[in-house]
C-alpha cells in the first residue's frame, strides 16, 4: 500500500490555504497536516510536524517564500513546491527558488489570490505526489565539474564540410530541469558546431525568463524559440510554454515550427513532439539527451529517432543525479540509450560525441 504523503500548506491568503488544502485532501494518499501564513510560521511548523512535502507561496509578509526556502534547505531539507504568480518578477523569483533547491513550482493562474486555482487541481496533486518521490540529495548536490569545456577549434575546411550534414542536438527534461540545464549549457563552448533544441516542461510565461537566465550564464546563446526562425550552431532554443516545438528542413536550413496544439503525454511542449520531428530530418546527425523529469515523455520519440536513423546517439541522465528518475528511466527501458551519464558529465559527453562523430 502506498504511504500517506504529509503536507504543510503555506500561503498568506486564508482563501488559498483553504482551497489548496481541500484540493490535496481530496486525494486518498495525501494528508494536509496543517497550514502556515508566512515563512516564519512555516519554519516553526516544519520543526513541530516534520511534513514530507511543503507547498510554499513566494510572496508573503514577515518572511517571504524565498527566505523561508533558504532556511528550510539549510536546516530541514525536504521537497518544496513553490506557488508563483505569472509575472516577470514571479518567474525570476521562481528560478531563484529552483537554484535554492525547490523541487518544482505551480503558476497561480490569476495573481496571488487566484479564485480559479481549482483549474490547477490535477497539477497540484500530481506535483505533490511526485515531489514526495524526489531524490532530495541530488537537488543540492554540488557540481563536481563546473569548468567550461574548451572551444572546438575546428579547421576551416572541416567546419565547411560538416555544415553539409552536421549535427542537431535535442534535450528533453522536466522536474529538476532548470538546474540540470544550467549545469549542462553553462559548460558548452560557444563554437559548438550544432544547434540545440530544448523542451523543458513549463507553463507559458516562464520559458522566456528561463532562456534569458541561462543566456546570461552561458557562453553559447540561449533563447526562447520563435516560429519560423532558422536554427544556428552555437545557440540553444527553448520551446515556449504552451506551444509544441518541431523542426523542419527547408532549402535555407533547419527551421523552427512553433504552434499551439493539444497536449501530448499531458504536456505542451512535449519532448516526443520535438524528437519525432527530428527523426524526420534527412540530412542531420542526431544527438538526443533525456534528463531528470517525471513521466515517460521522450521515450517514443527516441524509438522513432533510432528506427529512422540508426546512428542517432542517445544520452540519458543516470539515476544517481536525477531529481526524478522518470523520463530517463523510460528512455533506458527502450534499450536504445547509448550512454547513461551523471549530470556533471553530460556536457562533456555531448562535446566528445560531436568531436568524434564529426571528424
At 297, which CATH number? Answer: 3.40.50.180
- Please give the tally of structural domains in the chain: 2
Q: List the domain range (segments joined by +) for residue 205.
A: 156-358
- Reading the block at residue 230, the C-alpha cell is 532558422
- CB atoms inside a 10 Å sphere around CB 23: 22
The per-residue pLDDT for range 77-130, each reduced to its tens digit, is 999 999 887 666 778 888 889 888 899 998 886 555 555 677 788 899 999 999
Determine the pLDDT at residue 326.
94
Q: Which residues contact 69 (CB under 8 A, 6 or more apart)?
A: 56, 80, 82, 97, 100, 101, 102
Residue 142 lies in a domain: no
Determine the pLDDT at residue 165.
58
Quick check: pTM over 0.75? yes
Active site residue 174: yes
Q: Which of 174, 218, 270, 316 is catalytic?
A: 174
Determine the pLDDT at residue 355.
83
Cβ-in-10-Å burial (0-12, 13-18, 19+) of 156 comes to exposed
200 and 334 share one domain: yes
Q: Which of 52, 104, 201, 270 is catalytic?
A: 201
Residue 151 lies in a domain: no
164 and 130 share one domain: no
Determine the pLDDT at residue 160.
41
- 162 and 154 Cβ atoms separated by less than 8 Å: yes
168 and 295 share one domain: yes
Cα dihedral 115, 243, 297, 253, rounded to 10, equals -160
Active site residue 28: no
Residue 148 lies in a domain: no
Active site residue 201: yes
Of the three residues 134, 164, 187, the one that is the final residue of a domain is 134
Nearest partner of 342 among 148, 126, 180, 173, judged by Cα: 180
Determine the pLDDT at residue 286.
96
Of the three residues 134, 166, 185, the one that is the final residue of a domain is 134
Determine the pLDDT at residue 109.
66
Stretches in the chain below the pLDDT threshold 50: 142-144, 155-164
DSSP designation for 330 = H
Q: Which H or E run contains 126?
A: helix 121-132
167 and 27 share one domain: no
115: domain CATH number is 3.40.50.2300
- Reading the block at residue 30, the C-alpha cell is 495525501
Amino acid at each position: 500500500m502506498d504511504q500517506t504523503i504529509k503536507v504543510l500548506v503555506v500561503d498568506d491568503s486564508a482563501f488559498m490555504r483553504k482551497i489548496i488544502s481541500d484540493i490535496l485532501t481530496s486525494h486518498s494518499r495525501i494528508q494536509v497536516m496543517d497550514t502556515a501564513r508566512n515563512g516564519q510560521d512555516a519554519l516553526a511548523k516544519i520543526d513541530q510536524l516534520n511534513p514530507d512535502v511543503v507547498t510554499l507561496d513566494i510572496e508573503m509578509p514577515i518572511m517571504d517564500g524565498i527566505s523561508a526556502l533558504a532556511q528550510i534547505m539549510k536546516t530541514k531539507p525536504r521537497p518544496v513546491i513553490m506557488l508563483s504568480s505569472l509575472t516577470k518578477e514571479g518567474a525570476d523569483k521562481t528560478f531563484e527558488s529552483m537554484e535554492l533547491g525547490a523541487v518544482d513550482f505551480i503558476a497561480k493562474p490569476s495573481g496571488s489570490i487566484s479564485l480559479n486555482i481549482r483549474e490547477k487541481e490535477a497539477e497540484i496533486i500530481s506535483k505533490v505526489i511526485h515531489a514526495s518521490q524526489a531524490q532530495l540529495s541530488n537537488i543540492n548536490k554540488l557540481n563536481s565539474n563546473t569548468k567550461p569545456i574548451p572551444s572546438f577549434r575546428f579547421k576551416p575546411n572541416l567546419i565547411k564540410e560538416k555544415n553539409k550534414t552536421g549535427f542537431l542536438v535535442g534535450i528533453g527534461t522536466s522536474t529538476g530541469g532548470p538546474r540540470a540545464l544550467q549545469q549542462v549549457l553553462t559548460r558548452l563552448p560557444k563554437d559548438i558546431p550544432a544547434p540545440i533544441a530544448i523542451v523543458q516542461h513549463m507553463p507559458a510565461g516562464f520559458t522566456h525568463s528561463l532562456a534569458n537566465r541561462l543566456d546570461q550564464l552561458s557562453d553559447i546563446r540561449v533563447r526562447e524559440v520563435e516560429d519560423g526562425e532558422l536554427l544556428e550552431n552555437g545557440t540553444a532554443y527553448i520551446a515556449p510554454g504552451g506551444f509544441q516545438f518541431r523542426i523542419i528542413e527547408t532549402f535555407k536550413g533547419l527551421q523552427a515550427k512553433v504552434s499551439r496544439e493539444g497536449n501530448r503525454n499531458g504536456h505542451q511542449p512535449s519532448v516526443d513532439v520535438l524528437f519525432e520531428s527530428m527523426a524526420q530530418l534527412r540530412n542531420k546527425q542526431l544527438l538526443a539527451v533525456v534528463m531528470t523529469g517525471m513521466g515517460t515523455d521522450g521515450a517514443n520519440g527516441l524509438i522513432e529517432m533510432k528506427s529512422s536513423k540508426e546512428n542517432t546517439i542517445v544520452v540519458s541522465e543516470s539515476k544517481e543525479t536525477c531529481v526524478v528518475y522518470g523520463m530517463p528511466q523510460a528512455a533506458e527501458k527502450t534499450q536504445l540509450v547509448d550512454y547513461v551519464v551523471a549530470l556533471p558529465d553530460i556536457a562533456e559527453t555531448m562535446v566528445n560525441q560531436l568531436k568524434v562523430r564529426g571528424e
